[in-house]
Amino acid sequence: MIGITHNLRCGDVTSSFLCCSRFNALRLILASPANSVYHGMMKKHLLLKKNEEKRLLGGHQWIFSNEIQSIHGDPEAGDIVELHRHDGKFLGIGAFHPHSLISFRLLSTEREEVSFEFFERRISRALELRKRLYPGSESFRLIHGEGDFLPGLIVDKYNEYISVQTLSFGMDRRQTLICDVIESLLHPKAIVERNESPLRELERLEARKGVLRGTLDHTIISENGVKFKIDLMAGQKTGVFLDQRDNRQSVRRYVREGRVLDCFCNEGGFSLNAAEGKALSVEGVDSSDNAIARANVNLTINQAANVSFSVGDVFKVLDTHVKAGKKYDAIILDPPSFTRSKKTIATALKGYKEINANALRLINPGGFLLTASCSHHVPEDVFFATIEQSARLAGRLVQLLESSGASPDHPVIPAMPETKYLKFGIFAVH
Residue numbers annotated as active site: 374
Question: How deeply is 347 buried, as exposed, middle or buried, from its count of CB atoms within 10 A (0-12, 13-18, 19+)?
Answer: exposed
> Which residues are CB-neighbours of 375 under 8 A, at least 6 positions away?
337, 338, 339, 348, 421
Question: Is the separation of the CB atoms in 162 and 154 below 8 Å?
Answer: no
In angstroms, rounded to a whole number, what is the distance separating the alpha carbons of residues 99 and 205? 11
β-strands 423-429, 398-404: how paired?
Answer: antiparallel
- Tell me if 78 sits within 8 A of 102, measured CB to CB: no
Buried b / exposed e along 391-414 (16+ C-beta atoms within 10 A)? beebebebeeeeeebbbbbbbbbe
Q: How far from chain centre, in Å, is Cα 157? A: 15
d(CA 94, CA 61): 9
Query: Nearest Cα to 216, choosing from 275, 279, 164, 141?
Result: 164
User: What is the rounded end-to-end Cα distance, in angstroms, of the chain?
Assistant: 81
Alpha-carbon span 172 to 154, nearest angstrom? 11
Characterize the bridge pairing of strands 153-158 and 161-166: antiparallel
CB contact burial 310-324 (16+ within 10 A = b; e otherwise): eebebeebbeebbee
**Which DSSP helix (H) or strand (E) runs through 423?**
strand 423-429
* Cβ 158 vs Cβ 230: under 8 Å: yes
Element (H, E) at 230: strand 226-230
403-236-288 Cα angle (round to 5)? 95
Q: List beta partners, residue 230.
A: 219
C-alpha span between 334 and 345 (Å, rounded): 18
Contact 290, 301 (CB under 8 A): no
Q: How far is CA 262 from CA 113, 283, 381, 420, in A?
A: 49, 6, 24, 24
